Structure 1
Amino acid sequence: MRLLDRYLLRELLIPLFYCLSGFLVFWISFDLFSELDDYQQRGLRTPEIARLYLIKTPELLVVVLPIALLLALLYALTTHARHQELTAMRAAGISLWRFTAPYFAVGVVFTFALFALNELWVPKSVEAVEAILHRSSTAQSTDPGGRWHPKLHFHNARHGRFWSLGAFNLDTFEMKNPHVSWRASDRTERSLNARRAVRTNETWLFLEVEEFTYRTTGEVDTTPMKTNALVVPEFTETPEQIKSEIRINQLRSLISPKGAQLSLSEILNYLRLHPDPSPKDFALLQTQLHGRLAWPLTCLVVVLIAIPFGAASARRNVFVGVASSIFICFVFFILMRLGVALGSGNWVTPWLAAWLPNIAFGGTGLWLTARVR
């Protein structure tokens, strides 16, 4: 690595650290004041609240990382421009693209980091936060049996099975009052009722079971098969697929949980159960899928936006460049949210709704960067 690259990186990473820390402190403080009454009602103590926000850090980083990178780039570039360092580099024969290469390298690293955070850490942190909040609630109640999702119904379209659950435990994967109807390999229609079911050895174990068989004539056996325990190996539905069904049902609802969104694994799990979703569900899933892929690239778009405004001539008003760039990024984030809403509602082609802000603003940033003198 050249001495110049090390210098530029050092001058970027220091303000980046301060911007990132400042945004995290601001975001945590804002969220804490908003949720403090709820935490007090749940009986959370200070160490538990601190642990909760430590776990939520990946979720917060996904939001603040592009913004912090933008401000750090603007600060670093305007500082270099004010001290005529950029002019000296250009006079020494170093092109704009060459001395901004370290910034693009940081943008690429942050793109991969943001993707990893979004897909590997954020889903786990959301689950962990929900578990902490649930434990604090059940500690004051008489039912500490884990997180239960009531009345779940779903259809495994790939294998033709209909499931109806009285309740599903998100922690232990236990089912209450499961009912399953399906067509067996011998072409007979069957239905199964059980008092409960548990997950063991990668299969579902049904307890206190009644199984009905419907003949091809439409008649049902009057004496169902009864047993205390039954394992049905052909039931290949996994807890992760059931949880993805719950998440997508929540996202469909008019009042979805705070911060509800889908990871790529949840989308793929749902599509394994529903290979031919309805047009409305297809639009929702495709928009979410492309949105998850497009969001990490925001870090590269931010670099393209910052360079033409931060690296402008020192004769230009620095405040104008910074304010213009921040305004453009604000419009970018608004358009991204608007695109997701339009794509999810099937008003705009899903892939276009998710990628258009990146394409439009990235292209504009490239054009403006090429015009920098």
Structure 2
Amino acid sequence: MKIIGWMLTRMVLIRFIFILLGISIFVITLDIVAYSKEILAIGDGGLDAVFTYVMMRAPGTLSTFLPISVLIALLLVLIELSYRNELPAIWSSGVSPFRVMMMLMPFAILAGGLHFLLNDQAVPRTAPTLREWGIGDYDEKKLKVGGEKDPIWMRAGRDILRAGSANAQATELEDVIIFRRDEAGLLREQIMAKSAVLSQDRWHLSNVLVYYRENLPPNRLDQMIYSGSFRPAAAGARSGDPEEMSMSDLSYFVENSGFGIRPTWVYQTWWHKRLAIFVTAFAMVALCIPLAARFRRGGGIGIMFAVGIGLGFVFFIADGIALTMGELGFVTPWFAAWAPVLGLAAIAGFITFRTERL
């Protein structure tokens, strides 16, 4: 059985790698052709600019097409084995679909771990650079703040701080805006300062302009002391796009009520989604294996492939809809993230049950 398990894992892994790299290279190549002028404007231009763009774009592209690559690789292997009558021999030897799923567990863990690392580590590190370049899809995401990079977000009680830039320790800030809110969460005062320096747990603001609500006249000050305990942290440098944040950043934003950028449940939904993608690959395995067992008597290879692809696309569509509903607050965050995976697992269980009954 170990030989069968190693054979299946190797076949699926090889096809998965070639499919994922093939699709990703094709998509990135289209980007390069479509936005060649913008890409060549990066740095000194030339091939170095193209290589830099490919490296920055690769994590997001790989992450996008990884689930569908897993599905296609599994279906192609099962079709090939069925066509060569090797799959019926496996079923005839008494190996159950569940046993085959366990054989492919190492591949599912590898694919799930790769998907998680791409989304949690690689994408957050490349996203700020891509937004700064503003090429292709990132043109709409580019921050329109007068050439600034990602702003710094902090929180002290009900007050929210936004800074254009900061030093490594986040103790010296530039282009500061403090949004002071009342108990109902409504803006009551807006403090704008050219710079802010943290000294003895107090922020010293320079070149200050204070706006009040109810159309009261603004107040200009050379210096101002703010005593709020803002929390300097590296995560505060994120722009607030949850799909491009790590789990630690998402947790930081959840703990601080989203810094007033977006509702807390948006970041909670993406936090649960980051965990759910780890088991997506195994859900694909759990779907394809009993589907292949359903056609153990031979024939119907084309139908098996069509049904597998169809169920896969239904899963991706349902996943997108559930994620949107979670961001809008229509459903609880954990349900929005886990419902599509659990639904796919339920379909796989139903097919397995019918197969065993027949």
Q: What residue is the counterpart of 2:340 in the other structure?
A: 357
Structure 2 counterpart of 1:318: 301
Partner of 1:196: 195
Task: Find the counterpart in structure 1 of residue 96 from structure 2.
Answer: 95
Partner of 1:301: 283
| Ranges in structure 1 where 5+ consecutive residues have no aligned partner | 135-144, 183-190, 213-221, 252-259
Residue 241 of structure 1 contacts residue 269 of structure 1 at CA under 8 Å; is this kept in 2?
Answer: yes
> Distance between the aligned counterparts of 2:166 and 2:258, measured in 1?
26
The aligned counterpart of 2:161 is 163
For each residue in 1:317-368, what CA deviation from the matched residue of structure 2 results, as whole angstroms up to 9, or x when unmatched?
A: 2111111111111111011111111121122233222211111111111221
Q: What are the superposed Cα offsets for residues 297-332 of structure 1, whole Å, 9 maximum, x if unpaired? A: 211111122213334225222111111111111111
> If the length of structure 2 is used for normalisation, what is the TM-score?
0.75
Q: In structure 1, the residue corresponding to 2:313 is in which secondary structure?
A: helix
Q: Which deviations, in whole Å up to 9, do the C-alpha atoms of 1:55-85 show, x marking residues without a partner? A: 3322222122211111111111111122222
Taking every aligned residue pair, what percent have the same amino acid on both sides?
22
Deviations 1:241-264 (A, max 9, x none): 4334x325xx7xxxxxxxx54432
Q: How many residues in Structure 1 have an aligned counterpart in Structure 2?
A: 328
Measure, in 1, the Cα distance between the counterparts of 2:130 and 2:208. 38
For 2:29 and 2:202, the matched residues in 1 are separated by: 44
Q: 1:267 to 1:170 in 2, by over 3 A?
A: farther
CA contact (8 A) 2:174 2:196 kept: yes
In the alignment, which residue of structure 2 is the partner of 1:22? 22
Matched, 1:329 2:312: yes
Per-residue displacement from partner, 1:1-55 (whole Å, max 9, x unpaired)?
A: 8222222222222222221221122221233234334325657432212222123
Answer yes or no: is the 8 Å Cα contact 1:148–1:170 preserved in 2: no
Structure 2 runs not aligned, ≥5 long:
136-145, 181-189, 211-218
Paired residue secondary structure (1:118): helix
Pairwise mapping of residues 1-373 of structure 1 onto structure 2 (< 5 A)? 2-40=2-40, 44-130=45-131, 147-148=148-149, 156-157=155-156, 159-163=157-161, 165=163, 167-168=164-165, 175-178=173-176, 194-197=193-196, 208=206, 235-244=229-238, 246-248=239-241, 261-274=244-257, 281-311=263-293, 312-313=295-296, 315-372=298-355
- SS of the residue corresponding to residue 316 of structure 1 reads coil
Cα RMSD for the two superposed structures = 4.1
Q: Indicate how the Cα distance of structure 1 residues 180 and 25 shifts in structure 2: closer, same or farther if over 3 A, else same.
A: closer
* Deviations, residues 134-193 of structure 1 (Å, cap 9, x unaligned): 9xxxxxxxxxx984357x8x7725x3444354x3369996633435588xxxxxxxx987
Contact 1:69 1:299 in 2 (8 A): yes
Take 1:349 and 1:181, find their aligned partners in 2: how far apart are those partners? 29
Please, which moves more after superposition, 327-336 or 287-296?
287-296
